[in-house]
Amino acid sequence: MSRWLAACLVVLIAACAAPAPERGSPAQTRLSEAEARAAALARSGDYAGAARFYGEALRLATSLENPDAIAANAINLSIVDQWLGRDAEARAALAAVLDEPRAGFSERRKTQAELRRAILEAASGNLGAAEVWAGEAERRCAPGCEYAAAILNVRAQLALDSGHAAEAARLAAAARERAQGEAGRGEAANALRTLGRARSAAGEPARALEPLRQALEIDRTLGDPRKILADLTELARAADAAGDAQAARGYQERGLAVRRAINDGRGAPETEGLLRR
Amino acid sequence: MIGTAVIDVVPGQGALPLAEGALIQFQPARGISEIIDDFRRQAMPAFNEVKQAMSQIGRSGEDLTGILAALRREVDQLPATHRAVRQLVEEATKATAELNQQAGSTLAATERVAHGVDRALPALSEKLTASIESIDAAAVQLKKTGEEAQAALSSARPLLDRGETAAREAGDVLSAAKRIWPLSDSFKDAADGMLPIDSFEAQGKGRAR
């Protein structure tokens, strides 16, 4: 027992003493600075600025032949480009990883890039291409892979968009099971939302309400207005279809308030139309 | 045998025998429980201050830049605690070695008197187990504090939308906190600098951020 304690203490001391990894050369320093600046701009909502610095970081990483930094910055660039509505640029950014099989990217980075491409294609309505890329990511995603739930969620959404509600519900339930722990809460909420939508689409709106409420609860904790709005919109539809007009109206009013707050009034007519029904 | 300790009296180097009625001073070694108490006394206030500062971030109407500056100061002070903790851990290592010797002495002493082993060893074992549990509890508490700090910073994101400077300051605070053990273990690192890969954006809603 005392040996165990001593070993723990040695580990603790080692943990205390471990230095943070540092990058050395001027180019590496510029790469770190570009990445940090891009991340700060993304956090502050300046996506155009973030895209500019992720692009710079990608250029620097390429000049340094640093495959991990190339992949990370290409994927981040694709994310902010998608946020900006630049789908073609987002695809082009991912090509730095997906079209360079000899560049020595890790399996994890390849999985991330394939998943991102699947998300991009699905968002653009290219369901077939999205299926292909989601399948690639799934094949690469080993058991216990951190992106298993996200991949299943994308496949569930594709099934739902293709009119296969039962398959969508099955995949969403599987995604919910795989989305564990604190890090998996976002995907857990995505899974619950898709499960609710699938049940509504299958003509079971009353059974859709519980997973949608759970999704809303998680999304409010996570603090993402886009997801809160999506949850409230689906809850309003499900409650309305289930015959609970009062509950539906409550969700619609809450959704309208969130939408107005997000868009500062723009884009509210869709929800207001629902309220007038 | 006094409590769970055994005093093994060994003749020293002195030539003269002790006078009758002389007093032998007993100076107990600093035990692990005392070291852990010190650990708590020194580390917890610092972490509680960080926690309090982070909780302020969530309040509307606060001067975000001022709060972040205060938070940075608190985090910068943590290395002092960090060093103190290292010292305590080193002391704990010594105490463990002493405890081992003590166990050996206990065994030798009790072997000599041919009984008492059954009483002494389980008591030492309990002492060690309790110490380990105390260390675990302290580590869990600190980890929880770190997680709460992370949650506070996450919930502050809408506020950080106010400007790049604030965002960079928050990033600096987070980076500084991440470098400090044991906070560092509490931050789930999207730390390879990755933005979230979120299946929600497959619905075409990503751009509506």
* Mean pLDDT in residue range A20-42: 83
Q: Which residue has the higher pLDDT, A38 or B132?
A: A38
- The chain-wide mean pLDDT, for chain A, equals 87
Query: Which residues 129-148 of A have a C-beta within 8 angstroms of B?
Result: 130, 147
Average pLDDT over every residue of B63-70: 60
Higher model confidence: residue A259 or residue A144? A259
- ipTM of this complex prediction, to 2 decimal places: 0.84
Is the pLDDT score of A6 beyond 70? no
Pick from B92, B157, B202: CB nearest A43: B157
Structural domain spans, chain A: 31-130
Closest by Cβ to B99, choosing from A2, A42, A223: A2
pLDDT at residue B79 tops 60: no
Cβ pair B181:A84 closer than 8 A: no
Which one is predicted more confidently, A20 or B200?
B200
Write the pLDDT tens digit of every residue in B91-113: 655 655 555 555 555 555 545 54
Per cent of chain A over pLDDT 70 is: 87
Whether the CB of B60 is below 8 Å from some CB of chain A: the reply is no
According to DSSP H, which parts of chain A are helical? 2-17, 26-44, 47-63, 67-83, 87-98, 107-123, 127-140, 148-161, 165-178, 185-201, 205-222, 225-241, 245-263, 269-276
* Residue B162: predicted pLDDT: 43
B161–chain A Cβ distance below 8 A for any pair: yes
Residue B34 burial (CB < 10 Å; 0-12/13-18/19+)?
Answer: middle
CB < 8 Å to A262, chain B: 208
Residue B176, pLDDT > 70, answer no
Query: Given pLDDT bands bounded at 50, 70 and 90, which one contains residue B64?
Result: low
Question: For residue B98, what pLDDT is reported?
Answer: 57
CATH architecture designation of domain A31-130:
Alpha Horseshoe (1.25)
Q: Which residue of A has its CA nearest to B198?
A: A150
Binned at pLDDT 50, 70 and 90, residue B3 comes out as low
What is the pLDDT averaged over residues A245-256?
Answer: 95
* Per-residue CA distances from B110 to A134, B1, B2, B11, B31 (Å): 69, 9, 13, 18, 21
Tokens of B158: 């809408």
Note whether B115 contacts A: Cβ–Cβ < 8 A.
no
Phi then psi dihedrals of residue B13, to 5 deg? -85, -20
Compute how many other C-beta atoms are within 10 angstroms of the C-beta atom of residue B28: 9
Q: What is the mean pLDDT of residues A39-63?
A: 95
The whole-model pTM stands at 0.57
Most confident by average pLDDT, A19-28, A214-223, B36-45: A214-223
Residues of B in contact with A119 (CB under 8 A): 197-199, 201-202, 206
CB proximity A112 to B under 8 Å: yes
DSSP state, A183? Answer: G
Give B21 or B37, the one with higher predicted confidence.
B21
Q: Give pLDDT, residue B21.
A: 85
* Chain A residue with Cα closest to B136: A8
Enumerate the residues of chain A whose CB falls inside 8 A of the CB of residue B128: 1-2, 5
Residue B106's alpha-carbon distances to A65, B30, B131, B145, B146, in angstroms, are 62, 18, 19, 40, 41
Note the pLDDT of residue B73: 64
